[in-house]
Amino acid sequence: MGNKPFVFGVATSGDNFTDRKKETERLLLNFQYGVNTVLISPRRWGKTSLVKKVCGLAQSENLKVVYIDIFSCRSDREFYDTFATAVIKQTSSKLDEWIETAKLFLSRITPKISISPDPTTDFSISLEMNPKSENIDDILQLPEKIAQKKNCKIVICIDEFQQIAEFSDSKTFQKRLRTIWQLQKDVSYCLFGSKKHLMNELFEKKSYPFYKFGDAIYLQKIGTADWVEYICNRFEKTGKHISEELAERICKIVDNHSSYVQQLSWLVWVHTDETATENSFKEAYQDLIDQNTPLFEKQTESLTTYQMNFLRAIVGGVESEFTKQEVLTEYQLGSSANVSIVKRALEKKELIEIEKRKISIPDPILKEWLRREFVL
Ligand SMILES: Nc1ncnc2c1ncn2[C@@H]1O[C@H](COP(=O)(O)OP(=O)(O)OP(=O)(O)O)[C@@H](O)[C@H]1O
Ligand SMILES: [Mg+2]
């Protein structure tokens, strides 16, 4: 079986990773020089892929990189468990060393270490029921202690960082992290996540502990030229052909949205025998919408009529001044007070995005799907 020419749905790497040269360089420098980084973008643009790539490049004898995904953490306790496990596991390679490190630096917490049937592959740490507050700091200090002992630097990457905003008493938790992290000398952090407004809130509000925590990178889309080269290449490599014009149209129709470019390219490739045609493109685009329909139905099924009407207004071309009387009437949005409530709710659901007062639907396929729904 050959390598899939296109990858979507999971973080990508190797031959399926394209461009991002500038961001890769900047992030790599931050890792190497211990600069804290905050990386933000809408969903599925390629944060995880980028950070994982840089992790691979940066990893060395003197620089250890720890990658943690906290998507499934629902509380600070789960965060501490996940954090301790990942830090210990990823800074040393042998089981004996794991246990030794845990004993040495987490002795006050008496962590329970559970080991899976195959001890070389997995283990996890869970903490005693209610560790005392000062003992919890031991966990946050763990990377610094390991770095000193091993005489190396450590970078901790935390994916889906916006998750911490959902913890109860999140601000106290954030303060605690920041207080400890900012004093560490041998450890730096790369915090990244997707719910853009949440990430913005965490890092841009003066009253929040993480305000100005580090180098803020707003990940941009991958440019058309890079995509076209990539798409054409992947076709050629697998014995098929696509014109640059058609490759360009793939990018355009999904607005250069990373995941969709890959998914649509894949579908065009599937519909192509030797050379991609107008027909392959059309069929693939329909497939793309069909394949995403269940997801869109789920995302929109619980929306109120006002919220749907608001989306309808955006699809209809409105991008600002939703509270003008004509707009309120035409799209049945209720009062202007109502509009701000609806706006906030949709933003929270990540269905709309507000940038420089302009409102848009960041997901190009969702937008097209809505357009078709509204016509019916
Ligand atoms: N550099 C890249 N080159 C090619 N394709 C990419 C690149 N980055 C991302 N993609 C495409 O986008 C998809 C999503 O990438 P990734 O999971 O890294 O994004 P993300 O921003 O972490 O998403 P999420 O917000 O869901 O966590 C990948 O499966 C791949 O199809
Ligand atoms: Mg991700």
Last residue in a domain, options 298, 319, 338: 298
43 and 145 share one domain: yes
Report the distance separating Cα 35 and Cα 33, nearest Å.
Answer: 6
207 and 271 share one domain: no
The answer to the question of residue 13 being in a domain is: no
Atom 31, ligand 1: residue with shortest CA distance = 8
CB 158 within 8 A of CB 190: yes
344 and 266 share one domain: no
Query: Does the structure show a pLDDT above 60 at 119?
Result: no
The answer to the question of residue 11 being in a domain is: no
Q: What pLDDT score does 262 carry?
A: 97
Q: What is the CATH number of the domain that holds 321?
A: 1.10.10.10
Crossing angle for the helix pair 364-375 and 278-300, nearest 10 degrees? 80
The answer to the question of residue 284 being in a domain is: yes
Last residue in a domain, options 250, 283, 298: 298
240 and 337 share one domain: no
Which residues are within 5 Å of ligand 2 (an ion), measured at CB? 47-48
Range 7-34 average pLDDT: 93
Q: What pLDDT score does 96 carry?
A: 75
Range 124-148 average pLDDT: 79
Report the distance separating Cα 210 and Cα 190, nearest Å.
Answer: 12
The answer to the question of residue 258 being in a domain is: yes
Strand partners of residue 47: none
* Confidence grade of residue 199 (pLDDT, cut at 50, 70, 90): confident
Query: Does the structure show a pLDDT above 70 at 110?
Result: no
pTM of the model: 0.91
Q: What pLDDT score does 261 carry?
A: 97
Range 232-257 average pLDDT: 97
Atom 17, ligand 1: residue with shortest CA distance = 11
The answer to the question of residue 12 being in a domain is: no
Report the distance separating Cα 107 and Cα 275, nearest Å.
Answer: 64
Interior angle at CA 10, CA 12 and CA 297, nearest 5: 140
253 and 308 share one domain: no
The answer to the question of residue 1 being in a domain is: no
245 and 327 share one domain: no
Mean pLDDT of the chain: 90
Q: How far does the centroid of ligand 2 lie from the alpha carbon of residue 349, in Å?
A: 17
**Ligand 1 pocket member 254 (CB < 6 A):** no
**Ligand 1 pocket member 43 (CB < 6 A):** yes
Range 72-88 average pLDDT: 90
Q: What is the CATH number of the domain that holds 247?
A: 1.10.8
25 and 164 share one domain: yes
Q: What is the CATH number of the domain that holds 107?
A: 3.40.50.300
200 and 293 share one domain: no
Chain CA centroid to CA 350, Å: 13
* Confidence grade of residue 334 (pLDDT, cut at 50, 70, 90): very high
* Confidence grade of residue 268 (pLDDT, cut at 50, 70, 90): very high
83 and 175 share one domain: yes
Query: Does the structure show a pLDDT above 70 at 1?
Result: no
Asked which of 2-11, 149-158, 237-246 is least confident by mean pLDDT, the reply is: 2-11
Q: How far does the centroid of ligand 2 lie from the alpha carbon of residue 265, in Å?
A: 21
Q: What pLDDT score does 50 carry?
A: 97
- Residue ranges of alpha helices (H) inside the chain are 21-33, 47-58, 76-91, 95-105, 133-150, 170-181, 196-204, 224-237, 244-253, 258-270, 278-300, 305-315, 325-330, 336-348, 364-375
Tokens standing for 270?
């599937």
Nearest to 141 by CA among 89, 198, 80: 80
52 and 156 share one domain: yes
Q: What pLDDT score does 85 carry?
A: 86
The tens digit of pLDDT for each residue in 287-332 reads: 999 999 999 999 999 999 999 999 999 999 999 999 999 999 999 9
320 and 241 share one domain: no
Query: Does the structure show a pLDDT above 70 at 364?
Result: yes
The answer to the question of residue 107 being in a domain is: yes
Query: Does the structure show a pLDDT above 70 at 129?
Result: no
Last residue in a domain, options 164, 199, 218: 218
Range of the domain at 66: 20-218
